[in-house]
Structure 1
Amino acid sequence: MTNNLLLKVENVGIQFGGLKAVQGLNLELFQGELIGLIGPNGAGKTTSFNMLTGVYKPTEGEILFDGKRTNNMSPHQVTKSGVSRTFQNIRLFKELSVLDNVKVANHSLAKHSIFSSVFRLPSFFSGEAKMEEVSIEFLKIFGLDKYKDELSKNLPYGMQRRLEIARALAAGPKLLLLDEPAAGMNPQETKDLMDLIALIRKRFDLTILLIEHDMGLVMGICERIYVLDHGQLIADGTPEEIRNNPKVIEAYLGEEVTE
């Protein structure tokens, strides 16, 4: 991990009508960190992700990513700047093949013009070949290459989760946001996911912000953890500090906290 500050969130909030969904949110992520964001249902975690990725525009505060203000950027502009995400509810292109799902995220590798695409010039075919080559490499990392021609909707649930992460990674992010990646997984799938997250973080020099309810996963791989409750940050610290924080225990973890 370096000391480069990649993401700074200062007093960010958002209001829907009379409801303050998130207020006074402060986060700092340094390059190479793996950080958790936890809290009860309705605490504002996914809303925070939506602000970080341009889906929602904050009504107060400032978001700085890699030194640039992203408050008013559109989702595609945020993605282009180096932020990619997965979703709590899987959002694959279900009628596309596994390979094509990843190629969609890899479109920036295609340097050919619309003209060369329409008239099928050599640059079109070389661009398509490069996209396919890189996409298959991503599928190999996630153990999905043998399913490349399957429709994504036909994959088992755990593999669909893997495919969504592969697609997010194919966009070439500096910051990867994972919204409950272990949701619906059995213990072995969750363990495999933990190993996979550690692998891709190291291989791609990623910074990762993770929303997750599985405390075994969060405590096992995160270096620091932020805790939200009713739209407000109530604690941040190491897994050990969070595990023993009275406010966190009362709001979320309960008396029995296990790894």
Structure 2
Amino acid sequence: MSPILEVKDLTRNFGGLAAVSNVNITLEEGELIGLIGPNGAGKTTVFNLLTGVYPPSSGEIDFSPDGEPASIAGKKPYDICRAGVGRTFQNIRLFKDLTVLDNVVIALEQNQTYSLLSSFLHLPSWAASREEVLKSARDLLRLMRLDHKSFDLARNLSYGEQRHLEIARALATNPRLLLLDEPAAGMNPAETAGLTKLISWIRENYHLTILLIEHDMSLVMSICERIYVLDHGIVISSGTPDVVRHDPRVITAYLGQEASDV
């Protein structure tokens, strides 16, 4: 079996600056993997390369949701999403003037096949598809404990609730690989503990592979099976949480940035 994701020598240059340089990452199906590093290490740039926000300057990205490797390097974000890669963002990107329910419905409808005519005339095929979408959206909001706020505007949710809505929207795209970019950012310890359990539950029940960027080391160390550490765009360490925790290169990279928590 091929890995579900294999990144080989991935590089992205911005002018004369190498934001990411010769990064190699492998994810087996069903793994929950952490990607950590100091601020500015290149973590979100890696996510942007994996999801088509930026094309790589060089390197390969092979995605194999069904066992057959296919390159997604340089493809459009919507093509990568339809291939089975979902993500959240470091800076929350919701449709803040739409309802909570509509934010999820929009993501679900990318997989619908009814015609423009049937939607315009509200034909039975459209009505059946619409009812299915609404049910799926409500189920996802119930999972995130947001169903009681379905008709609230997204902008009126608390910060933690907006994070949960973004995860619901990512799940609505029916991913095989889920990329979570700092999902615990801005959360208090109780919210982070709940999120930790939720991520593990999602992985098991949705049969997902998850790649996680996070600065909360207690979260990373408690749920990730392996960890990659970036510094200045280069992978400086990889392995189990215990191996990474005691790697001198990692400790040095984090000096002055909560090194004692690594």
Which TM bucket (shorter chain)? over 0.9
Provide the C-alpha distance between the structure 2 equivalents of 1:97 and 1:126, rounded to a whole number of angstroms.
Answer: 22
Provide the C-alpha distance between the structure 1 equivalents of 2:74 and 2:261, rounded to a whole number of angstroms.
Answer: 41
| Structure 1 unaligned blocks of 5 or more | none
CA RMSD of aligned residues (A): 1.3
Deviation string, structure 1 residues 155-208 (Cα, Å, up to 9, x no partner): 111111000001001100000000000000000000000000011110000000
Provide the C-alpha distance between the structure 2 equivalents of 1:209 and 1:170, rounded to a whole number of angstroms.
Answer: 17
Provide the C-alpha distance between the structure 1 equivalents of 2:42 and 2:111, rounded to a whole number of angstroms.
Answer: 35
1:257 to 252, 256, 260: 260
1:195 to 194, 197, 209: 197
| Structure 2 unaligned blocks of 5 or more | none
Percentage of matched positions with identical amino acids: 54
Q: Which residue of 1 aligns with 2:18?
A: 20
Letter in 2 for 1:130: E
For the 8 Å contact 1:39–1:229, the answer to whether it is kept is yes
For the 8 Å contact 1:8–1:63, the answer to whether it is kept is yes
Letter in 1 for 2:260: V
Q: Which residue of 2 aligns with 1:129?
A: 131
**Mapping 1:91-102, distance limit 5 Å:** 91-102=93-104
Task: Describe the SS at the equivalent of 1:5.
Answer: coil
Tell me the TM-score normalized by structure 2.
Answer: 0.95
Deviation string, structure 1 residues 119-138 (Cα, Å, up to 9, x no partner): 22111111111100011111
For the 8 Å contact 2:92–2:162, the answer to whether it is kept is yes
Provide the C-alpha distance between the structure 2 equivalents of 1:19 and 1:258, rounded to a whole number of angstroms.
Answer: 30
Provide the C-alpha distance between the structure 1 equivalents of 2:2 and 2:221, rounded to a whole number of angstroms.
Answer: 24
Q: Which residue of 2 aligns with 1:171?
A: 173
Runs of 4+ in 1 over 2 A off after TM superposition: 108-111, 253-259
Does 1:86 pair with 2:93? no
Q: Which residue of 2 aligns with 1:45?
A: 43
Provide the C-alpha distance between the structure 1 equivalents of 2:60 and 2:139, rounded to a whole number of angstroms.
Answer: 37
Tell me the TM-score normalized by structure 1.
Answer: 0.96
Task: Describe the SS at the equivalent of 1:257.
Answer: helix
Provide the C-alpha distance between the structure 1 equivalents of 2:7 and 2:58, rounded to a whole number of angstroms.
Answer: 11
Q: Which residue of 2 aligns with 1:204?
A: 206
Q: Which residue of 2 aligns with 1:154?
A: 156
Distance 1:122 1:253, change over 3 A: farther
1:30 to 18, 28, 31: 28
- State the shift of 1:109 in Å: 4.3
Distance 1:40 1:256, change over 3 A: closer
Q: Pick which of 142-151 and 245-254 moved more.
A: 245-254
**Mapping 1:211-222, distance limit 5 Å:** 211-222=213-224
For the 8 Å contact 2:54–2:74, the answer to whether it is kept is no
